[in-house]
């Protein structure tokens, strides 16, 4: 369980309308879901590089703007989106 990073706020599966992550077993293994399908935690290995590349910490501090919209259409963009819901510091 220590390889997982808890999201600051749960993200319900319905947020990802185009990308049905819950149909991919490999992705499900990298997530911790609640009983209603909300994503509670994600594997650190999947989001750490996205968190650093996008400078999410700088966004949270207000020094860099957040993306206006997340286009989640594949596994890569899914983890990129989730990296905005975590804090690695």
User: What would the pLDDT profile of 5-51 be if each residue is shown by its tens digit?
Assistant: 999 999 999 999 889 999 999 999 999 999 999 999 999 999 999 99
Structure confidence at residue 68 (pLDDT): 85
62-78 pLDDT, tens digit per residue, is 999 988 888 899 999 99
Residue 88's pLDDT is what?
87
Distances (CA, A) of 63 to 25, 59, 66: 37, 6, 10
Cα gap 89→8, rounded to integer Å: 12
């Amino acid at each position: 369980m220590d390889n997982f990073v808890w999201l600051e706020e749960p993200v319900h599966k319905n947020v990802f309308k185009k990308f049905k992550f819950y149909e991919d077993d490999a992705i499900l293994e990298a997530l911790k879901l609640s009983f209603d399908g909300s994503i509670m935690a994600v594997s650190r290995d999947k989001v750490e590089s996205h968190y650093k590349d996008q400078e999410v910490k700088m966004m949270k501090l207000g020094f860099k703007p957040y993306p206006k919209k997340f286009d989640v259409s594949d596994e890569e963009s899914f983890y990129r989106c989730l990296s905005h819901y975590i804090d690695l510091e």
